[in-house]
């Protein structure tokens, strides 16, 4: 051990703030911050380029705390280095409306780059950040003018490595050779249940070497060793680096260090007193000496770093004004000025063509139209691009061309989605990811995280119902659409034809405050004729597609492939209107007058039809209505036979309307 006493004392500031805040909250995880304090000291004071006065400086390094339960580590770092996070904020750790929630949450404390709750996803986000940096750099940097040039640092623990998403993301990171990704593994051998050797005996070094990473082992309390490892990591430009840091959880606590008792609960007042003595720390709770603050303060250095970058960018801007303007536009998240006009022209052209194709094909046609004017697109698929049709003619894979716009994610649905969250969070890109709707289940938690963080990310899910046919019940989604619709802040679109598909893409791209899911068919969907007014109303989430003849007596609500069933039934009935509802979430945000115009409240005779879980629709049809949908899993058979077998037919819709109107 070669760490000078003064370095250890500087790192101890993290330890005391972590144990004090957790104790005051009577809740939290002091062990990880205390164990990783020495690593954090070296990384943040010597390598991490950031500006506390401007947390959104575009060329800052990114820091991701994947073992987010140790959030007081990050909050202590932000406070000590000079971010707008006060001691009072630390004293409010885990309290209502505080800036310091139990896990790092995007939008609460300045300097927090992502929400890291479920273990492993922070590491996957970090892969996305690193991929975004490399791709953006390849697209914009010029000789001698590297305006995009920063690292992604991530801390992670045993739990992150036990979660399968870490395998998916790390495997792809190694394959892509993301050399500016540096991960520090807190190898303390402890989880909440105790010593992990009884349930986690992986050879982590060999595992990451097999992924194509550089792996370095160090004593996680030896500042010189951590420093040298980080230098070596930055020198390796073709591989991500994992630095395995052997640490003692809760270091400094005489009776709890190295034990699970320091992991997920406060140390206790008596133990904190002993720990202060052990650390040689003689101040009361939440008091940091001035010389320690001075050692940590990064404001002047951060401002100097940003000023130097501003000078570099000014040179870039003078020599490459078009590229500079484009880079700033993309970092701000603004779409090209001509996008809306272009999208509307394509929608009108699509309506004029009147093609009957699968909505997955309609989606590809839309991508082919929108892609050339959206260089911020960074698409990808979990090995099914030939089936979900997410490739368009301008796609170039990032594995062959670092400046490309498409990621071949392989069979990694969870990793893909969590990585894409990192892409969106980094800025400069609008990512879309794709797989079969049934396999959304593998990615489910990362979908929730994109909604929780309000990121513009488009989830493309094809083969949307029993209509996929012969692959059978394991591949036929039933409850998945309802699950997505019940996800707060996620807009779920299930378009009925080419026009609705194009509008769904336009709406999803214009949305800046959350993700969207596009639910697309394998089978062809008949084109539906509409007026210009009806086309404009698609963006409202629901509209009257087929008006009633005479007095309105009943309403049929349908989505996707079942809209045509409703239209065919409409032709056999009087006094019935068909409402196409491609996006219920968007419809429910419309004003009351519009909702009433589409679904008059006095018309209680309602039928909903969708080849998915029936229960979702009761809130729209009421107890007096009828829902035609799925109440069981599917079967293996041709699609036409399945729709007949499960009673999702025109005759069934007609009979249901007659039932609710008698």
- Where in the sequence numbering do the catalytic residues fall? 413
435: three-class secondary structure by DSSP: strand
Closest among 260, 135, 87 to 190, alpha carbons compared: 260
Is 107 annotated in a binding site? The answer is: no
Do residues 158 and 181 make contact, with C-beta atoms less than 8 angstroms apart? no
In degrees and rounded to multiples of 5, residue 74 shows phi and psi of -70, -40
Is 97 annotated in a binding site? The answer is: no
Is 29 annotated in a binding site? The answer is: yes
**Surface-to-core class of residue 143, CB atoms within 10 Å of its CB (0-12 exposed, 13-18 middle, 19+ buried):** exposed
In degrees and rounded to multiples of 5, residue 64 shows phi and psi of -125, 120
Place of tokens 């070669």: 2
Is 174 annotated in a binding site? The answer is: no
Is 69 annotated in a binding site? The answer is: yes
Strands 491-493 and 516-519: parallel
Do residues 472 and 642 make contact, with C-beta atoms less than 8 angstroms apart? no
**Neighbour order of strands in the sheet with 626-630:** 543-546, 576-580, 554-558, 606-613, 626-630
Is 158 annotated in a binding site? The answer is: yes
Do residues 518 and 560 make contact, with C-beta atoms less than 8 angstroms apart? no
User: Would you state the torsion angle of the CA atoms of residues 405, 410, 413, 416, taken in this order, to the nearest 10 degrees?
Assistant: -40
**Encoding tokens for residue 58?**
């575009």
Is 38 annotated in a binding site? The answer is: no
Do residues 56 and 12 make contact, with C-beta atoms less than 8 angstroms apart? no
- How many Cα atoms within 13 Å fall on the side-chain side of residue 444? 13
279: three-class secondary structure by DSSP: helix
Dihedral sign (CA 186, 188, 189, 192): negative
Is 613 annotated in a binding site? The answer is: no
Is 166 annotated in a binding site? The answer is: no
Do residues 586 and 491 make contact, with C-beta atoms less than 8 angstroms apart? yes
Is 360 annotated in a binding site? The answer is: yes
Continuous H helices in 26-145: 31-42, 71-81, 87-91, 121-140
**Surface-to-core class of residue 232, CB atoms within 10 Å of its CB (0-12 exposed, 13-18 middle, 19+ buried):** middle
Plot region of 199 (φ>0 → left; ψ -120 to 50 → alpha; else → beta): alpha
Quote the strand ranges of 364-484, DSSP E: 377-381, 406-408, 430-436, 458-462
Strands 181-187 and 241-246: parallel
Cβ of 246: how many Cβ atoms within 10 Å? Answer: 16
**Neighbour order of strands in the sheet with 406-408:** 406-408, 377-381, 430-436, 458-462, 516-519, 491-493
Is 645 annotated in a binding site? The answer is: no
What Rg value do the Cα atoms of the chain yield, rounded?
28
Is 119 annotated in a binding site? The answer is: yes
Is 439 annotated in a binding site? The answer is: yes
CA gap 537, 562 in Å, rounded: 19
> Can you say which residues are annotated as belonging to the binding site?
29, 69, 117-119, 158-159, 188, 190, 263, 360, 387, 439, 463, 471, 475, 522
> Can you say which residues are annotated as belonging to the binding site for Mg(2+)?
158, 188, 190
> Can you say which residues are annotated as belonging to the binding site for substrate?
29, 263, 360, 387, 463, 471, 475, 522
């Amino acid at each position: 051990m070669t760490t000078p006493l003064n370095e250890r004392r500087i790192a101890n500031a993290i330890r005391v703030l972590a144990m004090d805040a957790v104790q005051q909250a009577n809740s939290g995880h002091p062990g990880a911050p205390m164990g990783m304090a020495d690593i954090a000291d070296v990384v943040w004071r010597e390598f991490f380029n950031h500006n506390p006065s401007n947390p959104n400086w575009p060329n800052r390094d990114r820091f991701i705390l994947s073992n987010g339960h140790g959030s007081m580590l990050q909050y202590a770092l932000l406070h000590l280095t000079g971010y707008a996070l006060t001691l009072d904020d630390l004293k409010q750790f885990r309290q209502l409306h505080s800036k310091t929630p139990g896990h790092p949450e995007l939008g609460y404390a300045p300097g927090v780059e992502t929400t890291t709750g479920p273990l492993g996803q922070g590491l996957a986000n970090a892969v996305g950040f690193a991929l975004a940096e490399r791709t953006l750099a390849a697209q914009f940097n010029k000789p001698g003018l590297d305006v995009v040039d920063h690292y992604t640092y991530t801390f992670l623990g045993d739990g992150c490595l036990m979660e399968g998403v870490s395998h998916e993301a790390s495997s792809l990171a190694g394959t892509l050779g993301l050399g500016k990704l540096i991960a520090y593994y807190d190898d303390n051998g402890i989880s909440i249940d105790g010593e992990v050797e009884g349930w986690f005996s992986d050879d982590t070094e060999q595992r990451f070497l097999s992924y194509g990473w550089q792996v370095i082992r160090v004593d996680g309390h030896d500042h010189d060793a951590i420093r040298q490892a980080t230098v070596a990591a930055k020198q390796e430009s073709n591989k991500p680096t994992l630095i395995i840091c052997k640490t003692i959880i809760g270091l400094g606590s005489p009776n709890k260090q190295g034990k699970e008792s320091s992991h997920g609960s406060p140390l206790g007042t008596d133990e904190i007193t002993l720990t202060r003595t052990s650390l040689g720390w003689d101040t009361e709770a939440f008091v940091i000496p001035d010389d320690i603050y001075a050692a940590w303060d990064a404001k002047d250095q951060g401002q100097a770093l940003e000023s130097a970058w501003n000078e570099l960018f000014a040179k870039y801007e003078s020599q490459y004004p078009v590229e500079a303007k484009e880079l700033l536009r993309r970092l701000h998240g603004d779409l090209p000025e001509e996008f809306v006009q272009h999208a509307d022209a394509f929608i009108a052209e699509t309506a004029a063509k009147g093609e009957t194709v699968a909505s997955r094909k309609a989606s590809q046609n839309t991508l082919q139209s929108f892609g050339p004017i959206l260089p911020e697109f960074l698409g990808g698929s979990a090995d099914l691009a030939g089936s979900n049709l997410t490739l368009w003619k301008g796609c170039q894979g990032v594995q062959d061309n670092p400046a490309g716009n498409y990621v071949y994610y392989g069979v990694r649905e969870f990793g893909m989605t969590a990585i894409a969250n990192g892409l969106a969070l980094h800025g400069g890109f609008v990512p879309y990811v794709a797989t079969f709707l049934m396999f959304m289940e593998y990615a489910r938690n990362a979908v929730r995280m994109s909604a929780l963080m309000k990121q513009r990310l488009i989830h493309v899910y094809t083969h949307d119902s029993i209509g996929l046919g012969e692959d059978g019940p394991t591949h036929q989604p039933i409850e998945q659409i309802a699950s997505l619709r019940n996800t707060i802040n996620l807009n779920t679109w299930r378009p009925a034809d080419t026009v609705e598909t194009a509008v769904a893409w336009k709406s999803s791209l214009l949305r800046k405050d959350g993700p969207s899911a596009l639910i697309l068919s394998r089978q062809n969907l008949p084109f539906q004729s509409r007026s210009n007014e009806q086309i404009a109303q698609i963006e409202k989430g629901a509209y009257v597609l087929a008006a009633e003849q005479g007095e309105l007596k009943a309403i049929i609500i349908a989505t996707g492939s079942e809209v045509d069933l409703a239209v065919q039934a409409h032709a056999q009935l009087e006094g019935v209107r068909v409402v196409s509802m491609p996006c219920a979430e968007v419809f429910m945000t419309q004003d009351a007058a519009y909702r009433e115009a589409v679904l008059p409240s006095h018309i209680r005779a309602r039928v909903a039809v969708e080849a998915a879980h029936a229960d979702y629709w009761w809130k729209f049809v009421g107890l007096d209505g009828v829902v035609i949908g799925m109440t069981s899993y599917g079967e293996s058979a041709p699609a036409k036979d399945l729709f007949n077998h499960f009673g999702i037919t025109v005759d069934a819709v007609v009979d249901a309307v007659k039932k609710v109107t008698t």
